[in-house]
Structure 1
Amino acid sequence: MRGFFIPRLLRQAEWRGRVALRSLSAVIQMRTFYPSPARVERGEGHFFIRLDGIGDFWLWLPFVAALKKAYPQQSFYLIANRLWAELAEITGLFSRILPIDPYRLRRSYSYRQTLTNELRRQLPPAEVLWQTTYSRRIAAEDFLAWVLPAEKKVAWERDPATAEPRYLSEWIDKSLYDSVFSGDSSPSIHEWLRYEQWLRSINGMSLGWKVYAQIRQNLPRLERGVVALAGSSVKYKLIPLQLYRQLLLSVYQHTKLPIRILGTATDKAYVENLALPFLEDLSGKLSLVEAVEEVASARLVVGPDTGLAHVAATLGVPTLMIAGGGHWGRFVPYPAGVPFPLKVLANEMSCFGCGWMCQYQWDRRRPYPCIARLSPEGLIEQALLWLDMQGFQQHAGALG
């Protein structure tokens, strides 16, 4: 059994080495051009830095909505991952959104310098800069927090799994932020519960759940059958073809509803290999906002653990999600009492919560065992039972 841990240990060592080099380069650049964190005596508005994925951003919205309610007169500025910046526009929470490239930010000295000059030119000094990313990077989120002027800078504690060098991360947190919130440090606590803890520590606030209903009101109210999601941001979370083919076929036979499948242009070959004639392939044809409109118009959404699956569930669309265990508990399943219709299909293993540092498999270009070894029979049985509980059995009979 000891040999199973070798892939994980090797990957962690490689990961820590790359992170350390990028972080050290960013710190040298920070100290060279800005020897101390940028400060002002008086600023205006609240700044937020979010550079992670679509799902991370979407699950963060109730936290921002709560702050917006607490500070209604303040302008909110968002420095956003360009991947989903257009999606931030439809939330109505931000006065201004500035899209940037986090990949280049972490890796390019010249991009960091050019971006710093551009952001300092476009943005006024902030009253409060909020660093709300749990898995923040020194070379990305912390770098921007260092160079952007603000009266006060506050942060969430850092996720230990980011593998930042301890001496650098502790120095950054002490030198840069006025306060660092430290709540429940369990890796399996859901993001919403972390946000709730932070809000309560500020002034007893609660998450602004109504933000999802408000967004839903501004989206199309059509019912276009089933929407399937094709791809994943990383290949190790991709649903195996045979498993997905059987699941979609079972859903189609059970509901008698048409199925439209969404994805990027790179997902087209995957969709074609599903070889299901009843699928309407929209891969590569929609913008992100158009894809959100599609899932909001669906009666049912089916897919892997992706941002769009979270969008669908929080907008009230019944959602079947096939998930692995890398961040089990942190993003899925949802906490008890959360009223969103999400059914997570998974085969829980003792290694769940590994942070996607798989101890069984080195190759990140194919699904990890927690997904690859899912039993089609058991998964489909769970899925159809849940569909019946959501009222799809009656719908199928009516169409039969």
Structure 2
Amino acid sequence: MTRSIKQQIHKLLVSFSNWLNQQLAPKRLLVVRLDAIGDYILFRNFLQVLKNSKKFKGYSITLLGNSVWKDIAENFDNEYVDKFIWVDKNELNSTGAFWYLSTILSKIRIQQYKIILHPTYSREFLNGDFLLSLIEGDKIGYIGDYTNITPENKEIGDTYYNRLIPAENSIKFEFYRNSDFFSTLLQEDITFQKPFFTLGKIKKKNQIIIFPGAGIKFRRWDASNFKELCNHILVTYPDTEIILAGGESDVTITEEIIQDLDSIRVTNLAGQKKLHEFIHLVHQSLVLVSNETSAVHIASAVDTNVICISNGNHYGRFNPYPVSVNKKVTTLYPYEVTSGSHEESIKKYGTGSDLDINLVSVSMVINTLDSIVTKALQEEELE
């Protein structure tokens, strides 16, 4: 047998061995999603699509997720996720990051994932692309943009993927962006049109939730504005309860608001509810009034009326909600944002806004709230 024939046979055997290993490899899929709570709310329903897809039928799905929304995922999404691995991004960015990352990677590598999905559109480098480069498997990501990454790092990051899902180079509502990723990947039509929690229909309680916090200062409507709004509710709706809500970081602002509000109808629950409990609380309520935070997306997903107060930052991507997604989300902006057409607003504020959120007046919020509450009290069968 000649040397060339032996080489050809060897190549065939190697190819067959690789193919066989692929066939015999465990059907394990890792989904990487490390962004914020609101991002997860707009994404989570696609886990069900993934689990039930023809393409990944029989696969065990692991979610590598941001620990800030662990409570939501483990309470609402464990039917479609077989295993969770949680990442504390504060630890990942701390001085002990190397050892923490090593622990995370050891949990991942022992599972031998066949496919890694990274469906985040605005990818990060260190907490996204670079992390994926350390994981073995067939990596599929989104082509993405430059919101959270420099052009130089994105060019490097692109090389870490076996496949990048293409996307329109324009501002698009984030839920639609997620839908595009999975319909392209799975080659299936996405049948649902909005994010949702399956909670069932209930009798609403005569209560309004005020969510005054936000992670970034420019997203926070002033506490004095919220206090004025609360006073209006107490005077105008004598049978309506007010609940102040938020995380532990929002306790200071809620205490500032509740100070001098002399009413037993105001309850401060900031820092006292887990996320899954907050979701049920919003579901039970007539209206949620919030800055542009994850609370808005939660209210939309449980079909509760919501007033979102925003300075126009990233207009068109996370707010305003398209009517085709949810008619119960009303987003209020400074006049400068809405003075032109929707397309003009996207062009001006689609990538950011430095407008003062307090240009949204208290009277604007009160008028909107009165309209919504009046209609809700007429339509809802209250508990």
Structures share fold, TM-score greater than 0.5:
yes
Select the residue among 70, 74, 77 that pairs with 2:62: 77
Higher relative contact order (CA 8 A, sep 6+): 1
CA offset at residue 75 of structure 1? Answer: 1.9
Change (3 A) 1:128 1:269: same
Counterpart CA distance in 1 for 2:234 and 2:80 is 38
CA offset at residue 220 of structure 1? Answer: 8.1
| Structure 2 residue 219 is matched with structure 1 residue 237 | yes
What is aligned with 1:118? 106
Counterpart CA distance in 2 for 1:373 and 1:296 is 29
Contact 1:301–1:318 (CA under 8 A) maintained in structure 2: yes
Counterpart CA distance in 2 for 1:114 and 1:220 is 46
Counterpart CA distance in 1 for 2:292 and 2:220 is 9
Counterpart CA distance in 2 for 1:301 and 1:206 is 29
Contact 1:314–1:340 (CA under 8 A) maintained in structure 2: no
1:252-282 per-residue CA deviation (whole Å, 9 max, x = no partner) reads 4444310111122332221122133332011
CA offset at residue 329 of structure 1? Answer: 0.8
CA offset at residue 371 of structure 1? Answer: 0.7
What is aligned with 1:361? none
1:96-147 per-residue CA deviation (whole Å, 9 max, x = no partner) reads 11111123324554245423443235x5122321111122211012123212
Change (3 A) 1:86 1:207: farther
Write out aligned runs for 1:49-64 (5 A).
49-64=32-47
Contact 1:320–1:344 (CA under 8 A) maintained in structure 2: yes
What is aligned with 1:328? 315
What is aligned with 1:103? 90
1:308-357 per-residue CA deviation (whole Å, 9 max, x = no partner) reads 2211221111112112211211111112311352111222526422435x
Counterpart CA distance in 1 for 2:147 and 2:133 is 22
Counterpart CA distance in 2 for 1:329 and 1:156 is 19
What is aligned with 2:178? 195
SS of 2:35 mapped into structure 1: coil
What is aligned with 2:162? 178
Select the residue among 283, 289, 297 that pairs with 2:270: 283
SS of 1:212 mapped into structure 2: coil
Mean Cα deviation higher: 240-249 or 324-333: 240-249
Change (3 A) 1:222 1:159: same
CA offset at residue 374 of structure 1? Answer: 1.4
Aligned CA RMSD, in angstroms, stands at 2.8
SS of 2:114 mapped into structure 1: strand
Matching residue's letter, 2:169: S
Change (3 A) 1:163 1:177: closer
SS of 1:161 mapped into structure 2: coil
Change (3 A) 1:199 1:395: closer
Matching residue's letter, 2:165: F
Counterpart CA distance in 2 for 1:393 and 1:73 is 48
TM-score, scaled relative to structure 1: 0.76
What is aligned with 2:349? 352
How many residue pairs get aligned? The number is 340
CA offset at residue 153 of structure 1? Answer: 1.0
Change (3 A) 1:86 1:213: closer
Change (3 A) 1:211 1:352: closer
TM-score, scaled relative to structure 2: 0.80
SS of 2:43 mapped into structure 1: helix
What is aligned with 1:160? 146
CA offset at residue 384 of structure 1? Answer: 2.0
Contact 1:47–1:129 (CA under 8 A) maintained in structure 2: yes
Fraction of identical pairs, as percent: 21
Change (3 A) 1:334 1:178: same
Matching residue's letter, 1:159: D
Point out the structure with max Rg over C-alpha: 2
